[in-house]
Structure 1
Amino acid sequence: MSVHAQTFPEHFTFGVATSAYQVEGGIENDWAEWERAGKLKEPHARCGPAVDHWNRFEEDYALARAVGATAFRISLEWARVEPEPGRFDEAALEAYRERLTRMRAHGLRPVVTLHHFTHPTWFAGLTPWHLPASVEAFRRYVRRVAPLLEGLDALVISFNEPMVLLLGGYLQGAIPPGIADGPRTMAAMENMVRSHAAARQELLERLGRVELGISQNMLAFAPDRWWHPMDRALVQLSAQAYNHAFHEALSSGKLRVSMPGVASTRVDIPAARDSVEFVGVNYYTRAHLRFVPRPPFIEFKYRDRRERGYTDIGWEDWPEGFLQILREVRRYGRPVWITENGIDDRDGQRRPSYIHEHLAQVLTARAEGVDVRGYLYWSLLDNFEWLEGWGPRFGLYHVDFQTLERRPTPACDYYRAVATGRRLITPAEATQPSAAR
């Protein structure tokens, strides 16, 4: 790689990512109910106070700046601001506005996610995503939170990983709302696309302009048996449905999903056409797919065929797939933001190399003409990791879950050296005194 190809331009943004429920604490929503029902992998795990970011946000902003970040991704917790349908908590709204303005004061651009998996406790009973009423419920919520973004030059994400929510919550029943129904999954998908379009209308009406996108989890797929035609066909179908259905709907206004034997939909949503200013990519790993002759006709496996060692959550370390995904999203003709990328590394020693290898893919993609504007590492802090509870550790900062003390991992020095030096260096080079100059 040439010297020029190893550098990041001045306008490239390095940042960090979080989500409200995973870090804030003190939130009562559908996930809190799910935990009380004992539906996590560790049935007694509770998010509870999380890592108390709600009270320690100033400290956490300073930690983000200490690793060279100039953007900070948060989410607004719908359950906190609208605890009952149509009743908004003014104190919560004011508190979020304070946090966003303080973020700017710390030199961090807000990246604000409007929906990151969780819902108010009333949502599933009154306006679940598979009902048309969900669109107006989301519109009402966005109308009320839009003023919080005024004057902040925020990057806005309507939905985080909508396919994860839909497959996990509506097709498999593994996460809230716990539905396992193909037609309802398709209806919910359509209503989420319509809700994105509705959110855009509300944001434009209030703010005049907005940089809006979604944050889509994207997997590199491979056939479990390279020689098997059905495994290869599953890769094509899954890449289209999982990785691209939402992105294409928000580009073309046409939602097209085909899951043979499970569920499908074809619907035109004109309001969704050209409804994003950027493409958000969350990338972590590769999945190997195997055809099985019974519903749902697919087995999903993580393999370590290059013998790099699984990450601590059990995923393949496959940075090559990151470049593949970045090449694929070039088709949408929009700037690209890496809204999440990270590793569960519980002793903290592997993370610098992981970041280095993935940033190398970003530079290769940029050299090929992919307009990648920013990279947000997931996550600033160790946090509550959904069904996995308190086991995984993705944080640049290690958190003692008893005392909530934040301690830097070796990746902090590496990330700061790259972000401030704007040059891709190896983890070994980051330990040299001149690395960040």
Structure 2
Amino acid sequence: MSAHDMTFPSDFTFGVATSAYQVEGGLENDWAEWERAGKLKDPHMRCGRGVDHWNRYEEDYGLARDVGATAFRMSLEWARIEPERGRVDGAVLEAYRERLLRMKARGLRPVVTLHHFTHPSWFHRETPWHLPRSVDAFRAYARACAPVLEGLDALVISLNEPMVLLLGGYLQGLMPPGIADGAKTMAALENMVRAHVAAREELQAVLGRVELGISQNMLAFAPDRWWNPMDRALVRLGAQAYNHAFHEALVSGRLRVNMPGIGSTRVDVPGARGSCDFIGMNYYTRAHLRFIPKPPFIDFKFRDVNGRGLTDIGWELWPEGFGQVLRELKRYGLPVWVTENGIDDRSGLRRPDYIHAHLKELLAARADGVDVRGYLYWSLLDNFEWLEGWGPRFGLYHVDFNTLERRPTPACRYFREVATTRQLLPPEAVLHRAPAPGAEPLRLAQPSAAR
């Protein structure tokens, strides 16, 4: 690619991403209950205070600006807003509104997720996703959130990674609600599509026009045995069901999933047609699929095929898959936002190369006609990583989980260089030279008293 091809346009957005439960702290919801039941890999692990973003949000906005970000993805915590079914906490809504206004004042466009995996403690008992009344519950929640977003020009995400929630919570039983039932999985999938539609209706009633979509985790898939026709068939079925079924429902109004031995559904949701304004995609790695002759008939693994090593969480380094999946999104004819991309890099030394390789694929996809509007790195900060707890480190900023001190990793300087100059240089061209005269140093954020 030429030097011209290594340039981002002036209107391309660089940003960072977070989620409420992973950073805010002090939350009581279904995940907190799951932890107390000892269901994480380490049964003694707790999210607890998170990294205290609820109190340190102003400092963290400053850290985002320091790395050149002009967008900040965060989520509203349903359990804070509606701790009891039907009782909305107005003070919490005001607190979120204030945080978003401060964010906007700092030059950060809000990217607001309504639902990022977690639920109020009452949800799975009273309105679980596999029952139609879940749609009514989500509609009421979206109605309460709508005034918080007025006048902010926010990019809004109704649901984060719904297929991950369904796979982990409804098929494998590894996360709340801990169900392993194919029929309930398909019912929950349909209701989540309907919940997105309901949220859109409620947001539009208050905001008028709203830029709304979902964030879909998308994997590159490969057959574990290239010569095996069953493995190759699983790749086709898996890519369609996991990567595309939800988005296709929001574009066409038709939900179609066929995973033999797991579950299938064919349902029309007319209100879903044309119900998203952008395609949100999260990409991290590639999965190798293998057919096994017993339910659920599918096994997947991460393999180091090319000698690059695995990430510290054990995922394959496969930036080529990022470009592949981006090109697949052309079929929808909508703008694309990369709402998450990042690496668990506990030394902090591999992250610049990871970012460079993936942004190179992004630029190549843009050159091929994919309308990618923005890239949000996951994450601004090291944080609580769900079933893995406090082990993984995805942050541009390293967080000391004892003192909560934030320290810049080498990727901070690299990300800032790319975001501010719009030039995709290799990391060694940035990190091995002296900072430009007059360049502001990356700040070190210190713990502050709770406000």
Q: Distance in 2 between matches of 1:126 and 1:251?
A: 30
Q: Distance in 2 between matches of 1:43 and 1:379?
A: 25
TM-score normalised by structure 1 residue count: 0.99
The answer to whether structure 1 residue 313 and structure 2 residue 339 are counterparts is no
CA-based RMSD of the aligned residues comes to 0.9
Q: Which residue of 2 aligns with 1:64?
A: 64
Q: Distance in 1 between matches of 2:392 and 2:277?
A: 33
TM-score normalised by structure 2 residue count: 0.96
Say if 1:235 and 1:289, in contact at 8 Å, map to a contact too. yes
Say if 1:224 and 1:231, in contact at 8 Å, map to a contact too. yes
The Cα of 1:2 is off from its aligned counterpart by 1.1
Letter in 1 for 2:166: L
Note the 1:132-281 alignment, pairs <5 A: 132-281=132-281
Q: Which residue of 2 aligns with 1:374?
A: 374
Letter in 2 for 1:195: A
Q: Which residue of 2 aligns with 1:406?
A: 406
Q: Distance in 2 between matches of 1:3 and 1:247?
A: 34
Q: Which residue of 2 aligns with 1:115?
A: 115
The Cα of 1:19 is off from its aligned counterpart by 0.1
Q: Secondary structure at the match of 2:214?
A: strand
The Cα of 1:434 is off from its aligned counterpart by 6.7
The answer to whether structure 1 residue 283 and structure 2 residue 283 are counterparts is yes
Say if 1:421 and 1:435, in contact at 8 Å, map to a contact too. no
Letter in 1 for 2:148: L
Q: Which residue of 1 aligns with 2:49?
A: 49
Q: Distance in 2 between matches of 1:55 and 1:330?
A: 40
Q: Which residue of 1 aligns with 2:292?
A: 292
Letter in 1 for 2:414: Y
Per-residue CA distance 1:241-294 (angstroms, 9 max, x = gap): 000010100000000001101110000000000101100010000000010100
Q: Secondary structure at the match of 1:94?
A: helix
Q: Distance in 2 between matches of 1:162 and 1:27?
A: 21
Q: Distance in 1 between matches of 2:118 and 2:385?
A: 13
Q: Secondary structure at the match of 2:288?
A: strand
The Cα of 1:172 is off from its aligned counterpart by 0.7
The Cα of 1:433 is off from its aligned counterpart by 4.3
Q: Secondary structure at the match of 1:323?
A: helix
Q: Distance in 1 between matches of 2:46 and 2:17?
A: 22
Q: Which residue of 1 aligns with 2:446?
A: none
Q: Secondary structure at the match of 2:2?
A: coil
Total equivalences in the alignment: 437
The Cα of 1:314 is off from its aligned counterpart by 0.2
Q: Which residue of 2 aligns with 1:93?
A: 93
Q: Which residue of 1 aligns with 2:447?
A: none
For structure 2, list consecutive stretches of 5 or more residues without a partner in the other structure: 440-451
The Cα of 1:4 is off from its aligned counterpart by 1.4
Per-residue CA distance 1:298-346 (angstroms, 9 max, x = gap): 1101110101010000000000000000000110000000000000000
Structure 1 stretches of 4+ with a deviation exceeding 4 A read: 433-437
Q: Distance in 1 between matches of 2:391 and 2:227?
A: 37
The answer to whether structure 1 residue 329 and structure 2 residue 336 are counterparts is no
Letter in 2 for 1:120: P
Q: Distance in 2 between matches of 1:292 and 1:105?
A: 54
Q: Secondary structure at the match of 1:178?
A: coil
Q: Secondary structure at the match of 1:264?
A: strand
Say if 1:429 and 1:435, in contact at 8 Å, map to a contact too. no
Q: Which residue of 2 aligns with 1:20?
A: 20
Q: Distance in 1 between matches of 2:142 and 2:42?
A: 34
The answer to whether structure 1 residue 3 and structure 2 residue 20 are counterparts is no
The Cα of 1:57 is off from its aligned counterpart by 0.1
Letter in 2 for 1:305: V
Per-residue CA distance 1:381-414 (angstroms, 9 max, x = gap): 0000000000000000000000000000000000
Say if 1:252 and 1:272, in contact at 8 Å, map to a contact too. yes
For structure 1, list consecutive stretches of 5 or more residues without a partner in the other structure: none
Q: Distance in 2 between matches of 1:435 and 1:166?
A: 48
Letter in 2 for 1:411: A
Say if 1:334 and 1:371, in contact at 8 Å, map to a contact too. yes
Per-residue CA distance 1:104-137 (angstroms, 9 max, x = gap): 0110000000000000000001000000000010
Letter in 1 for 2:147: P
Q: Which residue of 1 aligns with 2:445?
A: none
Q: Distance in 2 between matches of 1:334 and 1:405?
A: 40
Per-residue CA distance 1:45-89 (angstroms, 9 max, x = gap): 000000000000000000000000000000000000000001011
Q: Secondary structure at the match of 2:390?
A: coil
The answer to whether structure 1 residue 124 and structure 2 residue 118 are counterparts is no
Q: Secondary structure at the match of 2:225?
A: coil
Letter in 1 for 2:400: D
The Cα of 1:430 is off from its aligned counterpart by 1.4
Per-residue CA distance 1:203-233 (angstroms, 9 max, x = gap): 1110010000000000000000000000000
Q: Distance in 1 between matches of 2:169 and 2:43?
A: 18
Q: Distance in 1 between matches of 2:92 and 2:313?
A: 34
Q: Secondary structure at the match of 2:337?
A: strand
Q: Secondary structure at the match of 2:114?
A: strand
Q: Which residue of 1 aligns with 2:388?
A: 388
Say if 1:417 and 1:435, in contact at 8 Å, map to a contact too. no
Q: Which residue of 1 aligns with 2:38?
A: 38
Q: Distance in 2 between matches of 1:434 and 1:272?
A: 50
- Greater CA drift, 423-432 or 367-376: 423-432
Q: Secondary structure at the match of 1:375?
A: strand
